[in-house]
Homo-oligomer: A and B are copies of this chain.
Amino acid sequence: MHPKNAFYAQSGGVTAVINASAAGVIETARAHPEAIGTVYAGANGILGALHEDLIDTAAESAETIRALRHTPAGAFGSARYKLKGLEENRAEYERLIEVFRAHDIGYFFYNGGGDSQDTAHKVSQLGEAMGYPVTCIGIPKTVDNDLPVTDTCPGFGSVAKYIAVATREAGLDVASMAQTSTRVFILETMGRHAGWIAAASALAREAQGDPPHVILLPEVPLDEQRFLERVKASVEGFGYCVVVVSEGVKNADGTFLSDQGTRDAFGHVQLGGVAPAIAALIKNTLGYKYHYAIADYLQRAARHIASATDVEQAYAVGQAAVEQALAGRNAIMPTIVRESDAPYRWHVGEVALAEVANVEARMPAEFIDASGFFVTDACLRYLRPLIAGEDYPPYRDGLPDYARLRGERVTPRLPDFRA
């Protein structure tokens, strides 16, 4: 049997470690030339397949592929592009299969969140139906940690570490100035529907009175009165208050605290600006001087302070995806299976794509404490190992030396396609 080529694509919001998964895929594929020919990567994710814009990863040196392990964001380009349902837009799925056929692609590795697992699942079904079976393996990735079944999602551990470090550092800053300056500091984090990222700030607390003093989660509707009481108690008791707020925090009526009114390509409401809303609430009622930070992309791109555990797991799921494909598995996603919290032990398992496609995992209720403004010890036990270890990139001239791809394109063989 002659080796089939593989197609790898990155999807949705990028992370500090999604390229480590890419390195896991490509290095493992290169180690099996008897079974896998060339790995083609989609330029700008799945759009690369639709537009037959394929990056030839064979043109990249072993050194460059190794450097992907320490390079943040999506080296091949990612896309916020959700394929519609099979009924609504069969043409797009058929186009994917045509492009795969034209380039002798027998493996599809799709690195993304719940939407992407859904797409991978549909492609596997359609290939079968069209007489061109493709081995489809999803590779988990979300900073939001919102995929089901897997214990954690690669990408989350690093943003969790970033937020915990930022909370500790900014907390020291505010503590040292509070006597005459800022009393309340607000850090806005990502996290549309799940509070995982904001929750991770709790890891910064070593002793009673340490920041963060209040965490606002999307899972807990904001009770303004109780929130303000808590801020006041913190300022009066400790001299200052550090609030970590998830971008997805909602009012009691279920509306987002700061809904900009726009939507992304997946139809999700696009958020931002919760921190100023919280700041204004505090200033107008309690009168405290405030500052706020909005970490935005800095938090998910911060490869310089990535979690070593997260990097290792991101690589491992990329590697496992290829190994599972070679073992004849199909329509599955490798998962992280936790064996124990301390010492932290884990291995890679698998789950059927049908079980994870479009399912969004929330924080369990037992991870949020009775006040609703902090997390429980169980949550901390879960989170702690995910930020463990540092995996610093190499530096040149004081800056991280990230990979630069040649990005050589494969000559198209099909007519243009417009979806």
- The answer to whether B402 touches A384 (Cβ under 8 A) is no
Chain B binder among A89-97, A119-127, A173-181, A354-362:
A173-181
Chain B binder among A286-294, A325-333, A368-376:
A286-294
Task: State whether the Cβ of A388 lies closer than 8 Å to any Cβ in chain B.
Answer: yes
The oligomer's copy count stands at 2
- The answer to whether A204 touches B293 (Cβ under 8 A) is no
Given contacts A181-B264, A297-B185, A298-B166, contact A72 B172 (CB under 8 A): yes
Most B C-beta atoms less than 10 A away, residue of A289, A294, A384, A398:
A398
A334–B384 alpha-carbon span in the complex (Å): 43
A168–B172 alpha-carbon span in the complex (Å): 26
Task: Bits for A383-416, please: 1 = Cβ < 8 Å to B, else 0.
Answer: 0100111101001011110100000000000000
Most B C-beta atoms less than 10 A away, residue of A47, A74, A77, A304:
A304
Q: Which of B80, B170, B173, B389 contacts A398 (CB 8 A)?
A: B389
Query: Which residues of the partner chain B approach A71 to less than 8 Å between Cβ atoms?
Result: 172
- The answer to whether B273 touches A173 (Cβ under 8 A) is no
- The answer to whether B181 touches A265 (Cβ under 8 A) is yes
Query: Which residues of the partner chain B approach A282 to less than 8 Å between Cβ atoms?
Result: none
Task: State whether the Cβ of A150 lies closer than 8 Å to any Cβ in chain B.
Answer: no
A71–B298 alpha-carbon span in the complex (Å): 22
Between A and B, 23 residue pairs with Cβ closer than 8 Å are A14-B177, A44-B180, A47-B180, A71-B172, A72-B173, A74-B177, A75-B176, A79-B180, A164-B398, A165-B399, A166-B302, A169-B301, A169-B302, A169-B303, A169-B400, A170-B301, A291-B296, A292-B296, A295-B298, A305-B305, A388-B398, A389-B398, A392-B392
Given contacts A165-B399, A293-B295, 9 further A-B contacts (CB under 8 A): A14-B176, A72-B173, A76-B176, A185-B297, A295-B295, A295-B298, A387-B397, A387-B399, A388-B397
